[in-house]
Amino acid sequence: MKSHGMELDQQLKNISWNELESYFGSRVFKRGERYFKNGRVSHWSNEVHLADFSRVEMNLQHLLDHKNYETVLDLTKVLLERACFYIESCNDDGDSAVQISECLNIGFKALRKCSWSNFDQLLFLINAQLEDDYELCRGASDVIDTIDDGETWSSIADYFYEALKKLPHPEIKDDYSKRYHRDRVSTVLVRALKKAGRPDEVLPVYENEAKITDSWEHLVYYLIEQKQYNQARIAAEEGIKNIGDTWPGTIASLRNSISVIAAEQGDYSCILLLKQQDFLLHPDFSSFNSLLETAIQTKNKDEMREWALHFLETGNAPAKGALKEAYKTEKNGHREFPRYETLISIAEKEKRVDDVWTLYQEATHKKSHHHLHAQVARIIKDQYPDESIRIWKLLAEQHIAQANPSSYVTGVGYLKEAQKICIKIKRTKEWSIYIEQLREANKRKPRFIKELRRLADEKLL
């Protein structure tokens, strides 16, 4: 079968640059050179030099209206060949990409009206999308959806079977480029098989590609979609084992799939184990809450709470719940314990203000407080107002000392929090004296004085 897409390069050689300029306009094509003029935006000087593709779009539309479909397609191929290079070499916040995409959409419309076969049309559109790294060809999908010809889709499937065979296998697990390209081609193949009414061939493609490109997610999602839960769970576990530490995002996705499958099967013990493992890997407030929500289903919430708190305090976790082996942090990385930030967030949720203050003092003593100051100051403001005021003052003074306008704004924001507490506990006189001392100490910082005046203008005192 002879493809118009394969003939197009030869056709384009017969189009002179004068003809291109007559279609596209000399403002866009630079005579004799194989690229578009650049558009750019300077964020420093606010200068704007945007390329104008309005004449390109107008002339393409004119050719389409006059049924010059083949010429529109020839020019569309020129755009496709040069658009990516153009976008890579300009900086205009995506404005040119939007304009080029609108021009290409005219070409895609012409495709359905030309003399090309359905096969040639589909192949042109699909290849355009495969070579598009800037989402210029999104309009091609609308045209692809209008071709509902099982025989043609079957031919497309056969074509991409052969294309996939010719693609090299990624030699190393982190060879992202080869993995990504194979994945896109296999996605096209699967879509073609479904459209061609050949669904029995889909699963073998997913299974084969999972072993080659580690695309286990596609396989697992498909099996779940087909309600083949046991096979999906086996595939997810195999994927986790094969991937190792190479693709943490994929591992997280596969673990989530196992959790979804387990929920579908009512296997809450499996979900609990996954949540325990997630918590050990990421001992934060979110994973703690997720663990306890699952523990409600397994009716051991109190046990899991104590287990999790013990780990946050010591870095060690005994075999408990669904976890069959003890976990020790020293064998699994160098992380800092106790995890004060998480412990304080848990204590806040459980309204244990005394524990929040105790944990904060410990963290401060060990210099492990990081960014806990503001969080703690808000939590303890009613029960420990003096300490809350002291923290807000400390934060404010640290930012004022940085001597830049944005830090002044942040610093005065902290002073405002302290001021509210002083008003509430009726210590405004003491606060006024402090503000005067602060103003005097920083009188050589006019921008800070201006921000401080705004605080006084709020008439809170």
Phi and psi of 245, rounded to 5°? -100, 10
Asked whether 213 and 183 are in contact (CB, 8 A), the reply is yes
At 125, which helix (H) or strand (E)?
helix 118-130
Per-residue confidence (pLDDT) for residue 382, from 0 to 100: 97
Check if the beta carbon of residue 282 is closer than 8 Å to that of residue 335: no
pLDDT number for residue 375: 95
DSSP 40: E
**Spatial distance between the Cα atoms of 340 and 329, rounded to a whole number of angstroms:** 16
What is the Cα–Cα distance from 295 to 287, expressed in whole angstroms? Answer: 12
Residues contacting 162, CB < 8 A, separation 6+? none
Q: What pLDDT, on a 0 to 100 scale, did the predictor assign at position 332?
A: 61
Residue 220 CB contacts under 8 Å (≥ 6 apart), including other chains: 232, 235, 236, 239, 254, 257
Strands 316-317 and 48-49, bridge-based pairing:
unpaired
pLDDT at residue number 331: 63
- Per the document, the length of the chain is 461
Q: Is the pTM of this model over 0.75?
A: no
Residue with tokens 């663990």: 291
Burial of 358 per CB tally in 10 Å (0-12, 13-18, 19+) = middle
Nearest to 122 by CA among 111, 110, 132, 137: 111
Per-residue tens of pLDDT for the chain, all 461 residues: 444 444 434 443 444 444 555 555 444 443 323 334 445 444 444 444 566 788 888 888 988 999 999 989 988 998 888 888 778 777 777 788 888 999 999 999 999 999 999 999 999 999 999 999 889 999 999 999 999 999 999 999 999 999 999 998 877 666 778 889 999 999 999 999 999 999 999 999 999 999 999 999 999 999 999 999 999 999 999 999 999 888 888 999 999 999 999 999 999 999 999 999 999 999 999 999 999 999 999 999 999 999 999 999 999 999 999 999 999 887 666 678 999 999 999 999 999 999 999 999 999 888 765 678 999 999 999 999 999 999 999 999 999 999 899 999 999 999 999 999 999 999 999 999 999 999 999 999 999 999 998 877 655 44
* Burial bucket for residue 171 (CB in 10 Å: 0-12, 13-18, 19+): exposed
CA distance 205 to 286: 37
Please state the φ and ψ torsions of residue 88, each to the nearest 5 degrees: -65, -25
pLDDT of 132: 92
The pLDDT of residue 341: 94
Q: Of 126, 27, 111, nearest to 70 (Cα)?
A: 111
Rounded Cα–Cα distance for residues 73 and 5 (Å): 10
Given a contact cutoff of 8 angstroms between Cβ atoms, the answer to whether 241 and 266 are in contact is no
